[in-house]
Amino acid sequence: MPISSIAIGTPAEASSPDALKAALAEFISMLIFVFAGEGAGMAFGKLTDGGAATPAGLISASIAHAFALFVAVSVGANISGGHVNPAVTFGLFVGGHISFLRSVVYWIAQCLGSVVACLLLKFATGGLETSAFALSSGVGEWNAVVFEIVMTFGLVYTVYATAVDPKKGDLGIIAPLAIGFIVGANILAGGAFDGASMNPAVSFGPAVVSWTWNSHWVYWLGPFVGAGIAALVYEIIFIGSNTHEPLTTVDY
């Protein structure tokens, strides 16, 4: 059971050189991801005179986030695990793969990376607004929570299947690509309704820089719930039991 593997950790562990290096890797990966993803949206809006909220703008956002996340996960994978998302970190905590105190260090680094990326974008663009995530007309807060739960479930389930599962084998090589693809696909599915965050830090940076907090809690509750459910499902059903018969020696 993953619950029995959950660890609080120690302050010494959370402040060790290894943990601090991992936190720096998460900070840099998040900065790369948010700068490219948020920047692509700002660039499209500038080129179309504010027309980012269009089908073409949604596709642009999907592609930019998919590519940027692929790179951000890849460059951080060997140092921090390439979480690049507080919800992913939470899902791994629920599964017993990271301690709580080390998770807190990751969360701080991820949120700071997002804020710094948005500040850099605002400065580099001459003061253009880094728009905070918002609900579309007709979409209630609890509707958006369900969207975020389902989309983040898909994301964290993909992380477990391609990067965490000890049976992944060579599939681990394409984990960053699969993770980027599921985020891009989810943006196409939910972007027109609530922005399709799936990542509390990605929502946090623009909210801080623009100081816009309307319905911000949605982008924390939904991803954390979705990540926790995905972790429990994958750990209990697929990792916690043998899901396939190994080949006998006569088969090779």
Q: How far is residue 166 from each of residues 29, 78, 98, 171, 240, measured CA to CA in Å?
A: 24, 16, 15, 11, 11
CA distance 228 to 152: 9
CA distance 86 to 227: 9
pLDDT in tens, 198-223: 999 999 999 999 999 999 999 999 99
Least confident residue range of 83-87, 148-152, 165-169? 165-169
Q: Which position has the higher pLDDT, 42 or 207?
A: 207
What does the DSSP assignment read for 45-111? HHHTTS--SSHHHHHHHHHHHHHHHHHHHHHHTTTT----SHHHHHHHHHTTSS-HHHHHHHHHHHH
Q: Which pLDDT band, with edges at 50, 70 and 90, does 241 fall under? A: low
What is the predicted pLDDT for the residue at 87? 98
Percent of the chain with pLDDT over 90: 77
pLDDT in tens, 55-114: 888 999 999 999 999 999 999 999 999 999 999 999 999 999 999 999 999 999 999 999
User: What pTM does this model have?
Assistant: 0.92
pLDDT at 45 over 90: no
What is the predicted pLDDT for the residue at 4? 62
Average pLDDT, the chain: 91
Give Cα 227 distance to the centre of its chain. 10
Q: Which position has the higher pLDDT, 6 or 73?
A: 73
What is the predicted pLDDT for the residue at 52? 56
Q: Which pLDDT band, with edges at 50, 70 and 90, does 133 fall under? A: very high
What is the predicted pLDDT for the residue at 144? 97
Q: Which pLDDT band, with edges at 50, 70 and 90, does 120 fall under? A: very high
Domains in the chain: boundaries: 2-239
Residues 6+ apart with CB under 8 A from 113: 26, 27, 28, 29, 30, 31, 34, 201, 205
CA distance 162 to 176: 9
Q: Which pLDDT band, with edges at 50, 70 and 90, does 165 fall under? A: very high
**Superfamily classification of domain 2-239:** Glycerol uptake facilitator protein. (1.20.1080.10)
Q: Which pLDDT band, with edges at 50, 70 and 90, does 249 fall under? A: very low
What does the DSSP assignment read for the chain? -GGGG-----HHHHTSHHHHHHHHHHHHHHHHHHHHHHHHHHHHHHHTTS--SSHHHHHHHHHHHHHHHHHHHHHHTTTT----SHHHHHHHHHTTSS-HHHHHHHHHHHHHHHHHHHHHHHHHTTS---PPP-PPTT--HHHHHHHHHHHHHHHHHHHIIIII-TT-GGGGGGHHHHHHHHHHHHHHHHHHHH-----HHHHHHHHHHHT--TTTTHHHHHHHHHHHHHHHHIIIIIISS--SPPPPGGG-
